[in-house]
């Protein structure tokens, strides 16, 4: 059975993951409006990943005999100063999520919940990948000053991204 403190914290994380999905969809809408359909696709795929993350937590709570309690999702930011700002915001958001995952791990360690620690290891690894991805995009956007042919090349490259759930899932 899932410890009540752990259940409460995971329920909060589920809300954060759904907010992340909503945020990335808002960013996709902004990028579409800027004529960057490839980058919008990248964000739509990112939104799918976030939903996958939320549902993975959702299923885990149920598997451990807990109860999921969904809360209202805050409205995400709708306007951004630039394409670079979109991806800087994304990186900052992923760093926030990493901190939140680490706090979940701290609780699991504190209450000696080995099953949840094992479960959370996947998220710890995933957040390393998420931060690295956005960090590289921000770096590349800064190299090209967020415009011109370089921006169009990045847009074209991002159009090919697809969502593929991990094989073990």
Return the closest-CA partner of residue 44 out of 156, 163, 166: 163
Q: Tell me the two tokens of residue 119.
A: 């479960």
In a domain, 127, yes or no: yes
Which residues, other chains included, contact 135 with Cβ-Cβ below 8 Å and sequence gap of 6+?
A: 91
What pLDDT does residue 93 have?
Answer: 98
In a domain, 65, yes or no: yes
Here the tokens at position 121 are 């290891």
pTM: 0.94
Instruction: Enumerate residues 6+ apart whose C-beta is below 8 A from 27.
Output: 43, 76, 80, 86, 89, 90
Using one digit for the tens of pLDDT, what is the confidence trace for 48-81? 999 999 999 999 999 999 999 999 999 999 999 9
Residue 169: what pLDDT?
A: 53
- Over residues 103-114, the pLDDT tens digits come to 999 999 999 999
Distance CA 2, CA 116 (A): 9
In-domain check, residue 125: yes
pLDDT of 137 > 80? The answer is yes
pLDDT band (50, 70, 90) for residue 164:
confident
Does the pLDDT value for residue 14 go beyond 90? Answer: yes
Mean pLDDT across the stretch 124-128? 97
- Residue 32, in any domain of the structure: yes
DSSP 55-124: HHHHHHHHHTT------PPPPPP---S-HHHHHHHHHHHHHHHHHHHHHHHHHHHHTT-HHHHHHHHHHH
In the chain, what is the greatest distance between 2 CA atoms, to the nearest angstrom? Answer: 55
Q: Would residue 90 count as lying in a domain?
A: no
Q: What is the CATH number of the domain that holds 115?
A: 1.20.1260.10
Q: What is the mean pLDDT of the chain?
A: 96
* Domain contains 164: no
Give domain status of residue 148, yes or no: yes
Own/partner pairs for 100-107, CB < 8 Å, 24+ apart?
100/12, 100/13, 100/16, 101/13, 101/127, 103/9, 104/6, 104/9, 104/10, 104/13, 107/5, 107/6, 107/9
For residue 165, the model assigns a pLDDT of 84
Count of domains forming the chain: 1
**pLDDT over 90 (residue 147):** no
Confidence of residue 167 (pLDDT cuts 50, 70, 90): confident
| 77 found inside a domain | no
Residue 168 pLDDT more than 70? no
> Which structural domain range is residue 104 located in?
4-72+95-158
């Amino acid at each position: 059975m899932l410890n009540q403190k752990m259940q409460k914290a995971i329920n909060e994380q589920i809300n954060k993951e759904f907010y992340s999905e909503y945020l990335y969809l808002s960013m996709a809408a902004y990028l579409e409006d800027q004529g960057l359909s490839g980058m919008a696709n990248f964000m739509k795929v990112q939104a799918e990943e976030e939903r996958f993350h939320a549902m993975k937590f959702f299923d885990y709570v149920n598997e451990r005999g807990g109860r999921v309690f969904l809360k209202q999702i805050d409205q995400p930011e709708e306007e951004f100063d630039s394409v670079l700002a979109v991806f800087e915001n994304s990186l900052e958001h992923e760093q926030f999520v990493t901190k939140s995952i680490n706090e979940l791990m701290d609780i699991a360690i504190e209450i000696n919940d080995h099953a949840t620690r094992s479960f959370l290891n996947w998220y710890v690894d995933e957040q390393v990948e998420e931060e690295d991805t956005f960090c590289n995009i921000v770096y590349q956007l800064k190299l090209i000053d967020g415009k011109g042919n370089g921006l169009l090349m990045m847009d074209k490259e991002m159009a090919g991204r697809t969502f593929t759930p991990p094989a073990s899932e």
